[in-house]
Amino acid sequence: MTGRPCPTSCGRRVSRKAGFTRHFSSKETLAAEAFDYAWRETFNARIHDLDTISNAVDRLKQLVANFVERRGTIPGGCPLLNTATDADDGNVVLRERARKALRGWCRYIISVISTGIKAREVRPRVDANRVATLIISSLEGAIMLYRLERNEEALRAVQAHLDNYLETEVRVPSK
């Protein structure tokens, strides 16, 4: 087809396709923008007032408590949960935003742990990445159970477990 003029019918097809692509692309972008908004609200609720807590382990415990108790702003509790399943079906833009959000959350926890290690509040051999993964996984799974059962049992069980874990395996033992 190189160099040959495109017949009218083909031109129509091209312009229809371009219209569809434009529409699809804006739908993808809209979903991504909606996700970003929801995530900002959610994340701000989770880190609410954490700056006022100086000890790193106490800060992590409050982060967990905020997750469990401050779910009011966004229906369903966590935009990541919806997006992880939706974005699986091919919305690349949305999936990338959700990954970025997840990594940002992970980095936040890692930075609290690193600060805690320097301040000798957190055991020096703690794997910050692993702790972040554990906290995020168990909270996200608990919110899934909360959505299915519509009661807070899983959230409270995970909170108690994480509190105990942070006290016994992350905090520097008191002398």
**Residues binding a copy of itself (CB under 8 A):** 76, 80-88, 95, 98-99, 102, 130, 133-134, 136-142, 144-145, 147-149, 153-154, 157-158, 160-161
Minimum CB distance to a copy of itself smaller for 145 or for 172? 145
Minimum CB distance to a copy of itself smaller for 59 or for 95? 95
CB of 107 closer than 8 Å to CB of 101: no
Closest separation in Å from C-beta 16 to a copy of itself: 30
Please report which residue ranges of 47-121 form alpha helices under DSSP H: 56-69, 79-86, 92-118
Minimum CB distance to a copy of itself smaller for 28 or for 86? 86
Closest separation in Å from C-beta 147 to a copy of itself: 5
Half-sphere exposure of 43 (CA within 13 A, CB side): 18
Closest separation in Å from C-beta 20 to a copy of itself: 26
Minimum CB distance to a copy of itself smaller for 19 or for 75? 75
**Closest C-alpha among 23, 72, 28 to residue 46:** 72
In angstroms, what CA-CA distances link 148 with 10, 57, 143?
50, 31, 9
Q: What does the alpha-carbon distance between residue 35 and residue 64 come to, in Å, rounded to a whole number?
A: 22
Closest separation in Å from C-beta 152 to a copy of itself: 11
Q: What does the alpha-carbon distance between residue 136 and residue 169 come to, in Å, rounded to a whole number?
A: 17
Query: Partners of 171 in the beta sheet?
Result: 122
Minimum CB distance to a copy of itself smaller for 6 or for 160? 160
Closest separation in Å from C-beta 111 to a copy of itself: 18
